[in-house]
């Protein structure tokens, strides 16, 4: 008897997690098995392409919409690099974590919307911060998930004297205002990170970018260039491109064509590594793609 694939849609809400875990386990096994001998051939790439074919029907559903593009991009050129392998394994680990499936994703998206709502009228009050602080206390299981720690640190420091001075209000609006863009389905322009007790911009503000004799790395998707075009552009300006983040990289360019609904894929393994290197004292500059384009035009 022929089975209509649409007949299965009604049951997906009951099997979504199991279905996704099975898909992740299969891609993990394929990736590890394919590179176990440090070599890869056309037939092995074919297995990864078959995985894409098997799961294409789900490619638009969360969380498949995070993993699918990463795998698809990795095999597009018929080569699976070590960097691409690491990206897939890192993302699989994030997406199958206990924290992820314990509704953390939905709750983080709710936090984004709460913060956006607070900042939407251009005014942030002590009462709003107190209510936000209560919400944060009730959702402590979200600790270590961006941007919970950053928001908690900022709110706690501002509420110490139970008032918001003009400078604090400016800082709050600058940080909280970034989340308003999510409501318009846009990528966050200046994501933040926690550095000790201070909130810092992930991407440099108005960075000075030198191209000659410097090393660039791109993470995420550019809305203007393919990766080959990006490499050719950097080379034409006297720089070089690295496929991964290391101590030798001067600039990590964060692609602007991200999906704000993604939990991990927007700012992933390379950004995580770059922040670690920066905290260790290496002067790598994280640059948003929009600033990169401005620097190119200035050449």
> pLDDT over 70 for what percent of the chain?
73
In this prediction, residue 17 has a pLDDT band, given cuts at 50, 70 and 90, of low
Element (H, E) at 16: helix 12-35
pLDDT > 90? residue 231 = yes
Mean pLDDT of the chain: 76
Domain at 215-297, CATH from 3.10.50.30, 3.40.50.10190, 3.40.50.1100, 3.30.530.20: 3.40.50.10190
Whose tokens are 């209509």? That residue is: 4
Q: Which has more pLDDT, 245 or 26?
A: 245
Q: What angle do CA 75, 79, 81 make, to 5 degrees?
A: 100
Domain parsing of the chain, residue ranges: 5-96, 102-186, 215-297
Element (H, E) at 285: strand 285-288
Q: What is the pLDDT of residues 184-204, one digit of tens each?
A: 444 455 555 555 545 555 667
Return the pLDDT at 277.
85
Cα 247 from chain centre: 21
CB 9 within 8 A of CB 73: no
Q: What is the pLDDT of residues 154-177, one digit of tens each?
A: 898 899 899 999 988 988 888 887
Report, in angstroms and rounded to the nearest whole number, the Rg of the chain calculated over CA atoms. 21
CA–CA dist 84, 81 (Å, integer): 5
Structure tokens at 175: 């940080």
Return the pLDDT at 266.
47
Task: Find, among 292, 280, 265, the residue nearest to 65 by Cα.
Answer: 265
pLDDT > 80? residue 216 = yes
Rounded to two decimals, the pTM is 0.55
Cα 263 from chain centre: 7
How many residues comprise the chain?
Answer: 299
């Amino acid at each position: 008897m022929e089975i209509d694939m649409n007949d299965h849609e009604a049951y997906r809400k009951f099997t979504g997690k199991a279905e996704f875990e099975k898909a992740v386990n299969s891609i993990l096994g394929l990736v590890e098995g394919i590179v176990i001998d440090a070599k890869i051939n056309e037939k092995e790439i074919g297995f990864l392409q078959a995985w894409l074919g098997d799961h294409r029907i789900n490619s638009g559903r969360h969380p498949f919409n995070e993993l699918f593009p990463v795998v698809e991009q990795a095999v597009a050129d018929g080569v699976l690099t070590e960097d691409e392998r690491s990206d897939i394994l890192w993302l699989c680990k994030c997406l199958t974590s206990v924290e992820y499936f314990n509704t953390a994703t939905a709750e983080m998206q709710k936090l984004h919307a709460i913060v956006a709502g607070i900042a939407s009228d251009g005014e942030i009050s002590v009462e709003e911060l107190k209510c936000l602080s209560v919400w944060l206390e009730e959702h402590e299981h979200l600790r270590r998930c961006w941007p919970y720690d950053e928001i908690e640190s900022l709110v706690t420091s501002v509420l110490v004297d139970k008032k918001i001075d003009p400078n604090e209000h400016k800082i709050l609006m600058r940080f909280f205002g970034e989340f308003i863009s999510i409501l318009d389905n846009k990528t966050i322009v200046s994501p933040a990170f926690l550095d000790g007790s201070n909130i810092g911009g992930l991407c440099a503000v108005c960075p000075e970018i030198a191209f000659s004799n410097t090393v660039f790395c791109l993470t995420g998707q550019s809305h203007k260039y393919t990766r080959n075009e990006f490499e050719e552009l950097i080379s034409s300006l006297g720089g070089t491109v690295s496929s991964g983040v290391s101590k030798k990289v001067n600039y990590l360019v964060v692609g602007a064509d991200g999906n704000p609904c993604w939990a991990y894929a927007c700012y992933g393994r390379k950004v995580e590594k770059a922040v670690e290197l920066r905290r260790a004292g290496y002067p790598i500059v994280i640059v948003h793609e929009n600033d990169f384009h401005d620097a190119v035009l200035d050449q």
